[in-house]
Structure 1
Amino acid sequence: MRTSAFVGRVLCGLRIGLPDLWRAAPVLCLGYLALDIATTPEDAPVWLFLPLPGLMAALAITWHRVRLGTGSTGGQGIGLRDAGLVLRYLARLLLLTSGWWGPLMAGLALLLAAFTEPGVLTLGPEVTFLDVFIRVALVCLPLSVAGGWLFLRVSPVLPGLALGRPLSVAEAWRATRGMGRPLTGVLLLLVLSGVALMAAFAVQEAYVVLGSGLIVLASTTGTLLSASAVSEIHRAAIGDQASDHEGWGD
């Protein structure tokens, strides 16, 4: 399959999966969106951020189930009984994506520090936020791209955990062998999503309301786009729950 076709399948999966996700877990979707909105203002209490990673993991698990299951959305949402699964998924996600989000978070921290902590970065009066944003992006984005590509190679581990068919990192790495070009296309798509999020933070510095809305849109879209990409990579490399015979060459 060509790179463009695979990227198109990821985007198509995003479009098709949204109604299924909504039918499977409307409370989860509303809760995630409400919390995302609540944590966007700069003066939001720190404790509001604590449930957000867990909700993000629960959203991704539900997405994997409705996209890679048998097509029925019944019973595929997340309940209290799945708390252990959500925690395991979140721990695995943080570990596998550390090379991806680490540089991005470092970049965001530098952007904030440049204007909130005097002395952290030496800025002259002629240096604008956009100047700092460009400099940080030139350093952080290449590191994030490398970490993101490694993550995509082993990403089938995550849907496997959600579907109750666990994979080791080595098995996932072997299964995605030969998918270099399609994964690179998906990675570029996710990098654009990350750039959009960083740009939204930059906009918020000048236009609080508009920037806050863009942050919510970019972060929510990025979460669902990542879940869609990982699901399609699993489908191509491993197969789905309905058919274990669909592989990369099919």
Structure 2
Amino acid sequence: MKAWSMFVHSLRLVINNLDVALRVSLVLYSVQAISQIYTFSANSGEMVQGPDGIPYPDISAGEGFVMLLLGIAALLASLWIAVAWHRYVLLGEEPAGWLPNWPGAAIPGYLWRSVLLGLVVALAAVPVGAISAVILPPVLMLAVTVGVASFVFFRLSPILPAIALGNSLGFREAWEATRGEAGTIVGLAGLMILGSLALQIPTMLSGDPNSLLSLVYSIVVGWFATMIGISLLTTVYGHCVEGRGVD
């Protein structure tokens, strides 16, 4: 099953190059971790009752501003990690120290293409979800909707590594590049969904998803999920666009 081979290949990219993966991402991912920790701390204080009668965390304007700045920094860091890891895997570009090379124009380009990709995925998934809600039980409706969204996302995902490499690849070209691998993409989307659910099991079993322990778990596991997810996009691009093997 090629989907499994692509998934395992993506996993090995991280494990077999763990030293580079850490140099590409550790400092930048710490920005995301700080953002999560600060948000957790701000939301763990006193609660106030809102106009609708629902209690909300009593977050000051200053705390809200810091959360916004950290959120922007975390987004920038995630884009930087993605571009750097694509470039390492596909071009062999290693960071000289504990920060990868600044990708310059690739950052806004990657962000803009990510937003467009999200809109296209939503345009495909929302009608499917609406129709499924009428004819299917809630669990099946959710499974079908997420499945369609994941399929469309992976079919068009080569546009993201292409931006990181400085190449021009449109949505139509990405769709055409993955046309022969539609069945594989279905399997890959399914594996991604199952993997995401598996990572959430410990948090669900902890009894308190908002606990400090759950936060620490989500930060640690989030790093692996981030790197494997970026590796999946890199693998799809490398195999479907550049014709690289996945064995």
Verify same fold: TM over 0.5.
Answer: yes
1:87 is aligned to 108
Q: How many residues align?
A: 210
1:57 is aligned to 79
Encode CA deviations 1:138-162: one digit per residue, 9 max, x unaligned.
Answer: 5434312211110101111101100
1:77 is aligned to 100
Q: Is the 8 A contact 1:66 1:72 kept in 2?
A: yes
The one of 143, 147, 150 equivalent to 1:148 is 150
Encode CA deviations 1:12-42: one digit per residue, 9 max, x unaligned.
Answer: 1232343213234553243334334444457
> CA shift at 1:5, angstroms?
1.9
SS state at 1:165 partner? coil
User: Which one-letter code corresponds to 1:176 in the other structure?
Assistant: T
2:28 is aligned to 28
Is the aligned partner of 1:8 residue 2:8? Answer: yes
Q: Distance in 1 between matches of 2:190 and 2:78?
A: 22
Percentage of matched positions with identical amino acids = 22
Q: Distance in 2 between matches of 1:49 and 1:204?
A: 27
1:167 is aligned to 169
- Cα distance change of structure 1 residues 249 and 87 upon mapping to structure 2, 3 Å threshold: closer
Q: Is the 8 A contact 2:5 2:246 kept in 1?
A: no
**How does the TM-score come out when normalised to structure 2?**
0.70
- Cα distance change of structure 1 residues 194 and 6 upon mapping to structure 2, 3 Å threshold: closer
SS state at 1:167 partner? coil
> CA shift at 1:68, angstroms?
0.8
- Cα distance change of structure 1 residues 17 and 231 upon mapping to structure 2, 3 Å threshold: farther
Q: Is the 8 A contact 1:57 1:86 kept in 2?
A: yes
Q: Distance in 1 between matches of 2:237 and 2:20?
A: 18
Encode CA deviations 1:185-226: one digit per residue, 9 max, x unaligned.
Answer: 321232134325655664676261222123223433322221
Gap regions ≥5 residues in structure 2: 45-63, 126-136
Query: Once superposed, what is the RMSD of the aligned Cα atoms?
Result: 3.3
SS state at 2:180 partner? coil
2:232 is aligned to 229
